[in-house]
């Protein structure tokens, strides 16, 4: 039987297959190139937004520090991470939620710079009360525990600030008891650090868009 001779290897058409392979490789290259460009654009945008956020935060803290320049220079308050801190012993007697005369004077001195700060920034003021972990000593004032003591102190400072001119709609109070210490409750000095009031500017909540009927 006469079989036809096999086709020589040199005559098999490799180029079309090679061209298809190269087209696939080029397509993959283009796809990865486009993906890398898109990733770089997103990364650049994220970095730009983060830089703007940091600059805004730095500007906000600088404005707050400028507003508090007087009390800070006198050592009557501290300013850490945008929080104005006041020792509880400066404002109140032990286990009391009634401002001492010097504490009331200090709070009144903060009202004007806080009011000016609020005029320049669309923010609100949060007044937070904190205690140490010592159990409450029974007093005729009727305060039952550290939760109530911290809340009453925050309310007292809030009312004093609003009475001194801080807009009532831009300020609110919160009590945290002994749940957020800044030092271990192991010495009288550390417990005194934990008995404090903090005044913190925070972003205002934006009203939610309600659907029209």
Q: What is the pLDDT of residues 105-163, one digit of tens each?
A: 999 999 998 998 898 888 999 999 999 999 887 666 688 899 999 999 999 999 999 99
Question: Where do the structural domains in the chain lie, given as residue ranges?
Answer: 58-203
Pairing of strands 196-203, 123-130: antiparallel
User: What is the value of pTM for the model shown?
Assistant: 0.69
Q: How far is CA 15 from CA 6, 25, 74, 173, in A?
A: 20, 15, 86, 79
Please report the DSSP string for 43-54 in residue order: HHHHHHHHHHHH
Q: Which band of pLDDT confidence, cut at 50, 70 and 90, is reported for residue 212?
A: very low
- Whether the per-residue pLDDT at 63 is higher than 80: the answer is no
- Alpha helix (H) residue ranges in the chain: 15-67, 69-73, 88-91, 101-120, 146-163, 188-194
Domain 58-203: give its CATH superfamily.
OmpA-like domain (3.30.1330.60)
């Amino acid at each position: 039987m006469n079989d036809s001779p096999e086709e020589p290897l040199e005559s098999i058409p490799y180029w079309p297959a090679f061209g298809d392979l190269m087209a696939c490789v080029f397509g993959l290259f283009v796809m990865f190139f486009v993906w890398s460009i898109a990733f770089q654009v997103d990364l650049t945008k994220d970095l730009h937004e983060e830089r703007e956020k940091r600059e805004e935060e730095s500007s906000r803290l600088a404005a707050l520090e400028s507003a508090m320049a007087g009390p800070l220079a006198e050592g009557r308050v501290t300013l850490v991470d945008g929080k104005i801190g006041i020792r509880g012993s400066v404002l109140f007697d032990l286990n009391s939620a009634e401002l001492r005369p010097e504490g009331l004077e200090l709070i009144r001195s903060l009202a004007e710079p806080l009011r000016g700060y609020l005029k320049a920034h669309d923010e609100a003021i949060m007044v937070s009360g904190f205690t140490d972990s010592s159990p409450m000593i029974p007093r005729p004032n009727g305060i039952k525990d550290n939760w109530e003591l911290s809340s009453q102190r925050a309310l007292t400072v809030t009312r004093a600030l609003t009475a001194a001119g801080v807009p009532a709609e831009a300020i609110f109070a919160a009590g945290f008891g002994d749940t957020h210490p800044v030092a271990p409750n192991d010495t009288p000095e550390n417990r005194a650090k934990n008995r404090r009031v903090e005044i913190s500017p925070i972003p205002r909540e934006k009203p939610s868009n309600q659907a029209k009927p």
